[in-house]
C-alpha cells in the first residue's frame, strides 16, 4: 500500500465524516496526532510549559487538515481533568500529568505539564532539561469538520470541533510553527502523515516547490471483496477501505455467503463475550472500547486487572462510606486510644461512655463485613484518613504531618503507615477494601505466533491465561503500651500507637509475601509460587553458611526474567542488610579493584536496591514487584490483652487484618538462594 505522500492526482469523490477521519488513523485507534515543542521549564516544580497545537495545515490521507482554534472549537475538558503526559503516545507509558491547558489569542494551544518522580519519568524530564527531548505531540479526536473540495489540489478539511486527550514526548516533529518563541514565524511548508513522517521543501526549489504545495491524493484501484462478499474493482484509501466501487466482477455465491455468515457469527460471539465480561466485572466502558477497536477476550483479560485496580483506587473511600455511613468528620473523630481504654477497662463506665462512638462504628463495620469483631473493628475509611495534628510537618516520630486531612495523599493514614513500613507492600500493587473472594485474571505465559492455512482458524490458547482467587487469610500482630501512656490524650500518642501497630503488621505481611507457604492459614509467598524463576547461588559459604552471590549470579537473575520476556525498567533487587554489606564490598569482577555490586546511587545492576531484614540470610529477590497483588479486606480488628504483662503494668495490643497475595505473572520475578 502506498504512503499518503505518494498519492497524487485525484481528490476524494465522496463526502468525508469525522467518523471516517477517526477510524482511518493508524496506531491502534489512538486518534490523530500533531507535534509541537517545549516552551519553558521549571526544574524545581518539575513542570514544563509547551505549545501543543496550531492552525498550521498538515497533510493527511483525506486531504489537507487545519485545526480550528476559534471560540468553542477545542474541547479541553479531558486535558484539564488530569490528562496524561505519555511517551510516544503509548497509553501504558505515562510519565506525568497535565496541570492546565488553554487556547491563546494567537490561536496556539498551550499546556503546563508536571513530570512524576518515577525513575522512568525522571529520565525523560532530565532529557527535556538538557534539551535532548524538545518536541511534544498531541493526540486528539475529531467531532465536526468542514470540507472544501478544491480542483487541482487536495481537499481542504477544517476541523471545527476537536478534543485533545493526551500529550506525548516524541522525537520527530510535524508541526514546526509552534514552540520556543516561534509561534509567529514564517517557516518552510512542512507536510507529513499522521505517523510523523515529514517532507520539507528544500531551499531553492523554485517553481517545483510551489507545485509540491498543490499535492492531492490519487485513489488506488484494487480487486477486493466488499462487506457483502462481492468481488469488486474499487478505489480504496491508504488503509484499504473502499471509497468507490468501479466495477462489479462477481456477486457472492453460496460458499462466499457461508463464509460471510461465519464471520458475522464470530463477530457476534466476540461482542457477546466482551459484553458479558464487562457486565460481570462492572467494566462496561472498557468492554465497549475493546468492541469498537476490534480487540478480543485476550485483550480484555490483559486490561481488566488495571481497570479493577484503578476503580478500587478511585472509589474506595466512597465505597467504604456507603458501607457504614460514616462522614469524613466522623472518620476523623475515631480514636484508637479511646477504644483501647474501653477494651482494657470493661468495668469503667466512663471509659465505656467515652468510646461509645468507636463501638458504634465498630458494630457497623463488622456488620458490613459479615463477621463479628474480636475487639473493636476499625472501619476502612478510618484507616484511610490521617488524624488531625498541629505537628512539625511530618518530621517527628509521632507526627501526623500537620493538618493532613486536606492532603489528598493522606501520607500519615494508617494504611500509608503500613505501606511505608513494609517493603513488599510499597513495591506491590495494593487492592484495598475487597469483599468476598474475587477472581483475578493472570497471565501464565507469553503469546505465540504461528502460521495457518487457507480458511484456517486461530487457536484459542495462543495466549496462556489463568485465573486465581483471592482468599482472605488473617494476619495477627501485636504491640505493647504502658498504662501511663494510655492515660495520655495527645494526638502524638494517638499517632504513635497507630504507627507501632502498622509496624507490627507490616513485618508479618512482608514475611508472608516473600516466604508464605500457602498452608497453615498462610498466603502463598513469592519463594514458593510455581513459575517464579530460581537462581541457585550454589555451594557452601565461608564457615559453612549460605553461599553469597557473585556479580554473575546477579546478572543471571536479570537474564532469567528477560528470557521470559518479563523484564521492565521498574524492577528492583530486595535483600537484607547483611547482603547489602556484601554487595558493597564485593567487586563485580574479582582482582580488578573495580566497582562494587552495590552502586553509590543505591542501585544494583542498574535497578533500585531495597533492604528489609525479613529476607533470609543469603537470599535475594529480583523482578517487577508490581506483579504481586496485595488484597486487603475490611477494617482492622483491634483487641486488648491486659493480663499477659499485668504485673509490669503493660497492655498488649493485638491487631488482626485479612489479607492475601496473588502473583499476576510469576515469570516476572526471580528468587536467588543457596539451594545446596
pLDDT at 524: 92
Residues sharing a CB contact under 8 Å with residue 206, sequence separation 6 or more, in sequence order: none
pLDDT at 311: 52
Number of H helices, E strands in the chain: 18, 27
- Domain boundaries defined on the chain: 4-218, 221-252, 316-441+470-474+484-525
pLDDT at 559: 93
pLDDT at 605: 92
> For the purposes of burial, counting CB atoms within 10 Å of the CB of 9, is it exposed (0-12), middle (13-18) or buried (19 or more)?
exposed
pLDDT at 492: 72
pLDDT at 300: 78
pLDDT at 179: 33
DSSP symbol at 598 = B
Mean pLDDT (10-residue bins), the chain, 676 residues: 34 52 47 58 90 85 86 92 87 90 91 92 91 84 87 85 89 49 31 35 35 43 78 78 80 62 77 80 79 80 65 43 66 84 85 87 79 80 61 39 33 66 84 71 57 61 58 83 75 77 84 91 92 83 67 93 80 94 87 80 92 92 91 83 75 86 89 87
Coil/strand/helix, residue 268: helix
For 125-190, give the DSSP string. HHHHHTTS--EEEEEEEEEEEEEE--TTSPPEEEEEEEEEEEEEEESS-S--SSSTT-TT-----E
pLDDT at 405: 31
Q: What is the pTM of this model?
A: 0.47
pLDDT at 34: 56
For 408-464, give the DSSP string. TT-TTSHHHHHHHH-HHHHHSEEEEEE-S--EEEEE-S--------TT----TTSS-
CA 206 to chain centre: 51
Amino acid at each position: 500500500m502506498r504512503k499518503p505522500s505518494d498519492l497524487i492526482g485525484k481528490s476524494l469523490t465522496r463526502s468525508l465524516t469525522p467518523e471516517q477521519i477517526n477510524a482511518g488513523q493508524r496506531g491502534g485507534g489512538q486518534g490523530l496526532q500533531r507535534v509541537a515543542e517545549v516552551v519553558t521549564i521549571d526544574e524545581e516544580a518539575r513542570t514544563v510549559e509547551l505549545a501543543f497545537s496550531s492552525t498550521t495545515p498538515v497533510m493527511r490521507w483525506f486531504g489537507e487538515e487545519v485545526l480550528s482554534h476559534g471560540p468553542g472549537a477545542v474541547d479541553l475538558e479531558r486535558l484539564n481533568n488530569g490528562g496524561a503526559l505519555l511517551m510516544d503516545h503509548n497509553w501504558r507509558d505515562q510519565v506525568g500529568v497535565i496541570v492546565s491547558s488553554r487556547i491563546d489569542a494567537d490561536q496556539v494551544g498551550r499546556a503546563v505539564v508536571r513530570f512524576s518522580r518515577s525513575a522512568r519519568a525522571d529520565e525523560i524530564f532530565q532529557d527535556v532539561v538538557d534539551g535532548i527531548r524538545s518536541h511534544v505531540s498531541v493526540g486528539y479526536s475529531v467531532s465536526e469538520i468542514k470540507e472544501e473540495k478544491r480542483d487541482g489540489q487536495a481537499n481542504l478539511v477544517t476541523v471545527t470541533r476537536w478534543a485533545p486527550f493526551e500529550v506525548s514526548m516524541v522525537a520527530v516533529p510535524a508541526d514546526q510553527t509552534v514552540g520556543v518563541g516561534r509561534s509567529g514565524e514564517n517557516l518552510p511548508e512542512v507536510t507529513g502523515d499522521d505517523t510523523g513522517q515529514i517532507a520539507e521543501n528544500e531551499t531553492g526549489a523554485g517553481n517545483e516547490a510551489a507545485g509540491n504545495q498543490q499535492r492531492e491524493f490519487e485513489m488506488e484501484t484494487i480487486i477486493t471483496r466488499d462487506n457483502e462478499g462481492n468481488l469488486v474493482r474499487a478505489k480504496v484509501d491508504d488503509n484499504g477501505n473502499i471509497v468507490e466501487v468501479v466495477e462489479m466482477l462477481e456477486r457472492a455465491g453460496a460458499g462466499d455467503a457461508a463464509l460471510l455468515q461465519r464471520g458475522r457469527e464470530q463477530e457476534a460471539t466476540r461482542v457477546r463475550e466482551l459484553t458479558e465480561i464487562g457486565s460481570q466485572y462492572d467494566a462496561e466502558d472498557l468492554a465497549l472500547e475493546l468492541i469498537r477497536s476490534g480487540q478480543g477476550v485476550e485483550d480484555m483479560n490483559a486490561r481488566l486487572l488495571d481497570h479493577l485496580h484503578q476503580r478500587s483506587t478511585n472509589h474506595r473511600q466512597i465505597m467504604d462510606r456507603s458501607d457504614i455511613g460514616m462522614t469524613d468528620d466522623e472518620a476523623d473523630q475515631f480514636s484508637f486510644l479511646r477504644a483501647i481504654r474501653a477494651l482494657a477497662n470493661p468495668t469503667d463506665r466512663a471509659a465505656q461512655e467515652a468510646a461509645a462512638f468507636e463501638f458504634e462504628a465498630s458494630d457497623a463495620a463488622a456488620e458490613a463485613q459479615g463477621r463479628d469483631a474480636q475487639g473493636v473493628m476499625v472501619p476502612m475509611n478510618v484507616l484511610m484518613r490521617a488524624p488531625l495534628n498541629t505537628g512539625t510537618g511530618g518530621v517527628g516520630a509521632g507526627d501526623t504531618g500537620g493538618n493532613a486531612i486536606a492532603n489528598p495523599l493522606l501520607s500519615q493514614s494508617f494504611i500509608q503507615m503500613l505501606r511505608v513500613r513494609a517493603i513488599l507492600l510499597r513495591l506491590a500493587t495494593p487492592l484495598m477494601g475487597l469483599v468476598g473472594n474475587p477472581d483475578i485474571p493472570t497471565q501464565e505465559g507469553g503469546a505465540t505466533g504461528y502460521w495457518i492455512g487457507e480458511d484456517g482458524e486461530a487457536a484459542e490458547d495462543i495466549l496462556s491465561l489463568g485465573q486465581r482467587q483471592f482468599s482472605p487469610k488473617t494476619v495477627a500482630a501485636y504491640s505493647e503500651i504502658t498504662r501511663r501512656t494510655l492515660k495520655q490524650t495527645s494526638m502524638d500518642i494517638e499517632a504513635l500507637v497507630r504507627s507501632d501497630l502498622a509496624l507490627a503488621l507490616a513485618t508479618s505481611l512482608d514475611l508472608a509475601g516473600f516466604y508464605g507457604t500457602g498452608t497453615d492459614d498462610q498466603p502463598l509467598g513469592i519463594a514458593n509460587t510455581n513459575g517464579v524463576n530460581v537462581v541457585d547461588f550454589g555451594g557452601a559459604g565461608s564457615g559453612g553458611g549460605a553461599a553469597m552471590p557473585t556479580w554473575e549470579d546477579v546478572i543471571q537473575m536479570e537474564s532469567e526474567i528477560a528470557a521470559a520476556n518479563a523484564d521492565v525498567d521498574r524492577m528492583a533487587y530486595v535483600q537484607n542488610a547483611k547482603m547489602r554489606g556484601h554487595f558493597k564490598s564485593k567487586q563485580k569482577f574479582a582482582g580488578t579493584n573495580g566497582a562494587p555490586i552495590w552502586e553509590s546511587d543505591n542501585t544494583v545492576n542498574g535497578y533500585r536496591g531495597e533492604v528489609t531484614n525479613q529476607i533470609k540470610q543469603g537470599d535475594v529477590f529480583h523482578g517487577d514487584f508490581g506483579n504481586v497483588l496485595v488484597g486487603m479486606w475490611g477494617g482492622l480488628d483491634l483487641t486488648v490483652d491486659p493480663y499477659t504483662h499485668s504485673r509490669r503494668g503493660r497492655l498488649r495490643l493485638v491487631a488482626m487484618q485479612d489479607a492475601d497475595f496473588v502473583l499476576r505473572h510469576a515469570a516476572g520475578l526471580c528468587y536467588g538462594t543457596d539451594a545446596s
